[in-house]
Amino acid sequence: MKNWILILFLTLCTWGTAAATDTDSDTEDRHLELQELVVRPKKEKYSKKNNPAVEFVRKVMERRNLTDPRLNNDYYNHGLYERINVGVINFPIDSGGALGFLTEYVDTTELTGRPVLNLSVKEKISDIHYRRDPQTRREVVRLRSRHGLDDLLGDAASVQTIFEEVMQPVDLYDANDIYLLRQKFVSPLGRLATDFYKFYLSDTIADAERGDSLIVLSFVPHNPTTPGFNGRLYVVKGDSTMFIRRAEMRLPKDANVNFISDMLLQQDYDRGPDGSRLKMRDEVLIEASYMGIDAYATRLSVYNSHNYAQPADTTVFDSKLAVIERNDLNESIVSYRPLETPKGAGRMQQMMARLRGNKVYYWGERILGTLTSDWIRPGGAKASVAIGPIFSTISHNDLEGWRLRLGAMTTANLSRRFFTSAYGAYGFADRRAKYGASFEYSFVDKKFHPGEFPIRSIKVSHSYDTDRLGQAYAQTGTLFNSITRGRNDLMTYRRLTSVAFNYETDRNLNFSLGLTHTRQEATPFVQFIDGNGRSFGHFQQTAAVFEFRWAPGEKYYQSINGRKRIVTTSPVLQLTHTWAPGGVFGTRWGVNKTEMMIDKRWFFSSWGHLDSRLGAGHVWEQTVFPSLLVPNVDLSYIYKRNSFSLMNAMEFVNDTYVELHLNYDANGALLNYIPLIRKLKLRELVGFHAVWGTLSKRNNPAYNPELLQFPEQAGTKPMGSMPYMELNVGLGNILRFVSVEYVRRLTHTGPGLPRNGVRVAFNFSF
């Protein structure tokens, strides 16, 4: 069980779900050194008006640009050493057991001094270059070192991307908010700072090393449950630029941040020859806990070799990549460490080699790797074939009844450029076998699978399977999607053959051009009958499909079997056009339609974020209902964003539409102010979903008997001038990972139509 605890922790930490723990009395005293900034009566009457501390911090804000080396020089360069550690606190090691050797690799946490066993250590040596005009920042990575359990969940580089996203370096001067733990905190130098924080001029201390006196500016949030910091800024006394020598910030214990028991940020600055501020050190230290597992994570950044010269290689600014991987240093990372590394963190590679020699640990890692990746990999990371996805092995729907599915795919261990996949499925109610296969050639080498960034490939595929009309989320059956409200039988059989060329640039521009041949076959629930009463067992279409997608700054988590988008504030624009001329290659009814979608996340400082999606589409020529524009409906009880929870499948069918999805996570903006309730750390959730569309006479079967009629049980009706709208409100963060939302249908109500509903969702986040 000790091995399982170790493995489970890494899984949680990789997904950004590390958490909270209590501290003993000795630790509490240590916390008070920084957290108790000023001793005041409980009923303190704090005021911004005529407050010298508020005026002081405003001067610091006003003069921030005076010492910015990027604004005062044509070029600014520096070196960077970065280390990210993740480990388990108080890991139970039996010194006489099979894993007793782990005691040799135990370090102590810098926050509470408790023993910690590091599980993952990532180090990086980089050169950073800034250019003032045009403003450009480029990072040239010279050397990387990664050791630990990262390979358990996927590509080690992608795991590092997640850690870097969760624990980003902080620059107080740069922004109004501090982005950390994938949420935003109000910065003590941000535009909202004087309203969010209480500021105090609490002390003046001597900086013996530099011969300066430092004014201590302390701050605490007005409401300690709203994500912010208790902290201190050390400002050089008598300095006209209000130079900050050091910053210390600590997360209040009551803050509505999941799992974190203690978090400390520290920054040190020095002056350059021209008076510019030069960041010398930046460190984030976190202690956390979840399911009884105490965790420790740190990110240390050390800056050196500051200069204002033009880089010897100015072509770095011409690169389309913000981070350029050169890895041109041949020496060990040990040669470049600017300070001593803890003994356990410094010997991670040796520890992992010994650990994986233990059979119990070896098989535990393999089993958990299967569960987290959803694929079985015989041979582990060296597997040439993977079997899965395992969570789609069994499912249920009204057409097939119980369905069994088994699939497999090749990995880059077999070929780094040529990939194949195949699956077979069987429905026990319809007694039909389904299948699919694909063959893909990548023009660039891959480490694991063809979906790694960037995708540049040609793919050929063929499948025979069910097609759930108007339910894009349900194309891959799982047990979670099998439980639905009412019947879910608007399904056809579809034979789909396609060939596609995909090209993804280094700047996240994706172009795809494909040819598809689709054969839709009738089922007992969806018949193909035209207005003249003629029945068709099937119809087919041959189409060209063009897709353009632009996602500037997009990041991915790339596992062994696929990649998942890491949601940031960067917008995502997608444009798709499908054209199938009638009478060509057996196409009875042609298709000519265009769809567009824009996704964007908006942060509101410490008051949560809003996810928005705006979509639109139009069908340019006459076609039949399976090729028209059907709003995406989700019939399950699992809440899914960007879908309609109370609309029935094919309730509305359009040839022109505009839709809007808004999902706001308020991060406890109101509940944080309610006594007792705020201790639960609940978070308000609000969503609004709307679609307006029309169906022209050209595509309405009621006016065109040559078109296929809508399935009778679908109850398809015109939308008219009133959009369809849904509202959902609920509570998130129940037990730290459960959300419960009430959904209300606002328009197009009537007998037999769902008006209310309750949906649940599961989400681990800070």
The rounded distance, in Å, linking the Cα atoms of 135 and 86 is 34
Q: What is the DSSP string of 486-542?
A: S----EEEEEEEEEEEEEE-TTSEEEEEEEEEEEEE--SSS-EEBTTS-EESEEEEE
Given this model, what pLDDT does residue 698 score?
A: 95
Residue for token digits 């969503």?
A: 687
The rounded distance, in Å, linking the Cα atoms of 563 and 270 is 41
Given this model, what pLDDT does residue 229 score?
A: 93
Task: Note the residue count of the chain.
Answer: 766
Given this model, what pLDDT does residue 480 score?
A: 66
Going by C-alpha positions, the residue among 117, 153, 101, 148 that lies closest to residue 366 is: 153
At 216, is the secondary structure helix, strand, or coil? strand
Torsion of CA 254, 256, 258, 264, to 10 degrees: -60
Residue for token digits 């501020």?
A: 277
335: exposed, middle or buried (Cβ count in 10 Å: 0-12, 13-18, 19+): exposed
Which H helix or E strand runs over 616? strand 609-619
Q: How far is CA 518 from CA 153, 539, 585, in A?
A: 36, 8, 11
The rounded distance, in Å, linking the Cα atoms of 82 and 105 is 21
Going by C-alpha positions, the residue among 637, 660, 653, 675 that lies closest to residue 760 is: 637
Given this model, what pLDDT does residue 225 score?
A: 87
Residue 274 φ then ψ, to 5°: -95, 10
- Give me the average pLDDT of each 10-residue run along the chain (766 residues): 39 34 32 42 75 94 92 94 89 73 85 87 94 94 85 60 77 82 89 93 88 93 90 94 94 87 93 92 90 86 95 91 88 85 78 77 69 75 85 88 93 94 95 96 91 93 91 61 77 95 92 96 93 93 96 78 78 96 88 96 89 96 94 86 91 96 92 86 94 96 94 89 95 88 94 91 80
Beta-carbon contacts of 608 under 8 Å, excluding residues fewer than 6 positions away, are 664, 665, 666, 667, 668, 669, 683, 684
Answer whether 220's CB lies under 8 Å from 95's CB.
no
Q: How far is CA 161 from CA 44, 155, 265, 566, in A?
A: 44, 10, 20, 9
DSSP annotation of 711: P
